[in-house]
Amino acid sequence: MEQLSNSDLILDSLKAGKTKDEIKGELLERGVEERYAGDLIKEVTKLYRSKRLSQGIMLITAGASFCFISCVSSLVFFSQGAFTWTLYGCTTVGIGIAFVGFTKVF
């Protein structure tokens, strides 16, 4: 079995929900010096959070755009069935997409 790199180990441990102290203990067992272990954890955590932040912002933007398109479409379509579907259905989907983005950001 192939051994994970230190950054992959930290990333997998973060996804598994381990604390920083547990991750630091695993790194020390692998022979990483203590002064580098803390810095390595900080950098990988920063990269992991920045990736989630960019994904979240993209989802929030997509949800807001979907809501805007829904609003404009409801003004264009005057038939009752299309109005209801575009206004309430598409807006609900857009809000759902935006909420998923908010969960990634916060």
When comparing pLDDT for 18 and 82, which is higher? 18
Q: Which residue has the tokens 């020390």?
A: 28
CA atoms within 13 A on the CB side of 11: 14
Q: What is the pTM of this model?
A: 0.75
- Please name the helix (run of DSSP H) or strand (run of DSSP E) that holds residue 47, with its range, or none: helix 34-76
Structural domain containing residue 52: 6-105
| Contact criterion met (CB below 8 Å) for 31 and 58 | no
Residue 19 domain-assigned (yes or no): yes
Residue 93 domain-assigned (yes or no): yes
| Contact criterion met (CB below 8 Å) for 97 and 62 | yes
Neighbouring C-beta atoms of residue 13, cutoff 10 Å: 20
Residue 99 domain-assigned (yes or no): yes
Residue 37 domain-assigned (yes or no): yes
- Please name the helix (run of DSSP H) or strand (run of DSSP E) that holds residue 105, with its range, or none: helix 90-105
Number of domains the chain is built from: 1
Residue 1 domain-assigned (yes or no): no
- Tens of pLDDT, residues 41-100: 999 999 989 999 999 999 999 999 999 999 888 888 777 777 888 888 899 999 999 999
| Contact criterion met (CB below 8 Å) for 59 and 94 | no
Residue 63 domain-assigned (yes or no): yes
Give the confidence band of 2 by pLDDT, cuts at 50, 70, 90: low
Residue 46 domain-assigned (yes or no): yes
